[in-house]
Amino acid sequence: MKKILLVLFAAAAFYLGGAYRFTPLLVFAAAVILLLPTMFILSRRLRKKTDVRFACPEYSAEKGSEAAVSVICENGGWLPLTRCLANISAAYPNSKPNKIKFRIGADAKSEQTKDIDIKAPYCGLIELKIERLRVCDWLNIFAAPKKCGAVCRAAVYPKEQEFDVSLAPSQGMSGFAERPGLRGGSDTEIKSLREYEHGDSARLIHRNLSARTGELWVKELEKQADFIAELYLNMSGADRTEPQKTGLFYEVLSALTAGLLKNAAAVRLFYKSGEERRLTARSREDIRAALLELYKTDPKSFGAAEAPSGGLMLGLDCILSRDGKTIKKFTAEDFDAESGALEI
């Protein structure tokens, strides 16, 4: 539109200048006409010396927040770059991409960095691509397109929540690896007693002492170095599952693993990706590392891990079960409320 208006303006100026024999107006019309090819050539010249890329190959964010992604515009020429236009395509697996428009520039022989906020509504991996890169001339008349293959990923992790996991008396220690010296429940060795603090598990309250003193006291248990919990994952159909449902699965997996770590020194996660695989988590950092490994795995390769008798199974439908019997079904609507006591 701007080019058409300039041509019409130059034609009108040339006509009026010729009709009234007004030389300055004729010179002005000629300058406008010469400006168009000059700006066209300039946009192509700037394009050759311009490179736009992501500052890092990977970013991270927490669900519900925004991932701050940095984009670098490098101008290798001697002429300043006033404006460069592009789109960032952000997409979860099995979802339509979200387009974010941005513009950036850079002085001669320099780099300019711009931070762009990417919404992260679900847990999972967001694929980011820079598309439709266009380098503009100084007057923004022409925009020279340029191919850009810049890609990166943003890993969206669940908020730090955990289930208060306790063992049902009828199940004993099913679902846990052998660990000498641990018999669970009241037979676990008590390290010390202390006053109750906000966030302490209700099952650790020492009822007799609390009743005598009138104040809440909790038991601190000895850590069992060889106490390992096992959780088997059924992720069949991940390549056809909406990101909202997959995100909820990762939230439940994170909270459940964190809750199991309250009782165990480690949690082994078994999943199938072509073949049986295993991840081990001993801390919050390990949980995130395990999630990232699952994020990066091709969804088409996922299957159902084979759980032994009494083994805990968590499905992509967010159903926690043992031997085919449902223990708990988690939903997006009441997940926060369910991040409390969980008897397995």
The answer to whether residue 276 is domain-embedded is: yes
Query: Quick one: 152 and 212 in the same domain?
Result: no
- Do the Cβ atoms of 153 and 59 come closer than 8 Å? yes
Q: What is the SS3 string spanning the chain?
A: CHHHHHHHHHHHHHHHHHHCCCHHHHHHHHHHHHHHHHHHHHHHHHHHCEEEEECCCEEEEECCCEEEEEEEEEECCCCCEEEEEEEEEEECCCCCCEEEEEEEEECCCEEEEEEEEEECCCCEEEEEEEEEEEEECCCCCCEEEECCCCEEEEEEECCCCCCEEECCCCCCCCCECCCCCCCCHHHCCEEEEEECCCCCCHHHECHHHHHHHCCCEEEEECCCCCCEEEEEEECCCHHHCCHHHHHHHHHHHHHHHHHHHCCCCEEEEEEEECEEEEEEECCHHHHHHHHHHHHHCCHHHEEECCCCCCCEEEECCCEEEECCEEEEECCCCCHHHHCCEEEC
pLDDT mean over 43-65: 94
Same domain assignment for residues 137 and 201: no
Instruction: Mark whether 120 and 255 lie in a shared domain.
Output: no
Do both 314 and 214 map to the same domain?
no
Q: Determine, yes or no, domain membership for 270.
A: yes
174 plus 296 within the same structural domain? yes
236, pLDDT greater than 90: yes
Q: 282 and 177 share a domain?
A: yes
- The pLDDT assigned to 182 comes to 30
Among the three residues 223, 247, 272, which one is the final residue of a domain in this structure? 223
* Domain-embedded: residue 242: yes
* 90 and 117 inside one domain: yes
Whether 229 is in a domain gets the answer yes
Angle at 329 between CA 323 and CA 331, to 5 degrees: 155
Mean pLDDT, residues 64-89: 94
Q: Give the residue-averaged pLDDT of 6-23.
A: 79
pLDDT score recorded for residue 185? 38
Which positions ≥6 away from 57 have C-beta within 8 Å? Answer: 152, 153
Tell me how far apart the alpha carbons of residues 331 and 340 are, in angstroms, rounded to a whole number.
14
Determine, yes or no, domain membership for 69: yes
Please give the average per-residue pLDDT across 93-122, as a whole number.
Answer: 94
Q: Which amino acid is at 297?
A: T
- Do 116 and 168 belong together in one domain? no
Residue 20 counted as domain residue: no
The torsion defined by the Cα of 171, 174, 178 and 180, in degrees rounded to 10, comes to -10
Amino acid at 74: E
Looking at the structure, tell me whether residues 229 and 296 fall in a common domain: yes
pLDDT band at 221 (very low <50, low <70, confident <90, very high): low
Question: 131 and 68: one domain?
Answer: yes
Does the pLDDT value for residue 177 go beyond 80?
Answer: no
Report how far residue 116's alpha carbon sits from residue 118's, in angstroms, rounded to the nearest whole number.
Answer: 6
For residue 30, the tally of other CB atoms under 10 A from its CB is 14
Residue 197 lies in a domain: yes
Indicate if 245 and 273 belong to the same structural domain.
yes
* Domain contains 61: yes
pLDDT at 9: 74
Residue 195 structural domain:
189-223
Total domains in the fold of the chain: 3
pLDDT score of 214 more than 70 = yes
CATH number for the domain harbouring residue 67: 2.60.40.10
Residue in 202, 203, 204, 252 with CA at minimum distance from that of residue 231: 252
**Tell me: the pLDDT tens digits for 24-51?**
888 888 888 888 889 999 999 999 999 9
pLDDT band at 108 (very low <50, low <70, confident <90, very high): very high
Range from 133-137, 213-217, 335-339 carrying the lowest mean pLDDT = 335-339
Q: Which residue type does 266 have?
A: A
Q: Do 212 and 75 belong together in one domain?
A: no
